[in-house]
Amino acid sequence: MSYYVIYDGNCNLCVTLVQLLENLDQGKLFRYMPMQDEQGLLRWQITRQDCEMGMILIDANTPERRWQGSDAAEEIGRLLPMGSVFVDAYRGLPGMKWVGDRFYEQIRDNRYALFGKRGSTYQSLFCADGGCLS
């Protein structure tokens, strides 16, 4: 089973989190595609505007199964070893999902101002099938 993570390859925070996932997972479960890879996005029928709503996680075996934004972050966390314990605890706290969603939206909408913008798009070593920048 594998998943595709579509992220902002120009966002310092996004790239740092992808690099953390790369180190943890070593390409076993996740493949990555920057939202700047417009040709790769076409394969998944995803637009740049779709990407502006937050990172996207796609189940490679069932591509109709998709998560976006904070839901994608939670699902990634759940898929990591022992991650479901933390995600379930977070989801179990009253009001935390709502707070987490609002927090994610603020970070998403202000990511360049808060964390800076890279001079070039980050390209993962663990590229999503059919979606690697040249």
Q: What is the dihedral of CA 33, 38, 40, 44, to 10 degrees?
A: 100
Cβ atoms 34, 133 nearer than 8 A: yes
Domain boundaries defined on the chain: 3-115
Q: How far apart are CA 51 and CA 89, in angstroms?
A: 28
Residue 125's pLDDT is: 87
Select from 38, 74, 40 the least CA-distant residue to 54.
74
Residue 104's pLDDT is: 96
Q: pLDDT tens for the chain, 134 residues: list them.
A: 699 999 999 999 999 999 999 999 999 999 999 999 988 899 889 999 999 999 999 999 999 999 999 999 999 999 998 888 988 898 899 999 999 999 999 999 999 999 999 999 999 989 876 556 54
- What is the reported pTM? 0.90
Residue 134's pLDDT is: 46
Residue 133's pLDDT is: 56
Residue 128's pLDDT is: 74
Between CA 111 and CA 125, with CA 79 as vertex, the angle to 5 degrees is: 60
Select from 121, 131, 111 the least CA-distant residue to 9.
121
DSSP alpha helix (H) spans, 26-125: 38-43, 48-51, 70-79, 83-92, 96-109, 111-115
Cβ atoms 41, 131 nearer than 8 A: yes
Residue 74's pLDDT is: 94
Residue 132's pLDDT is: 62
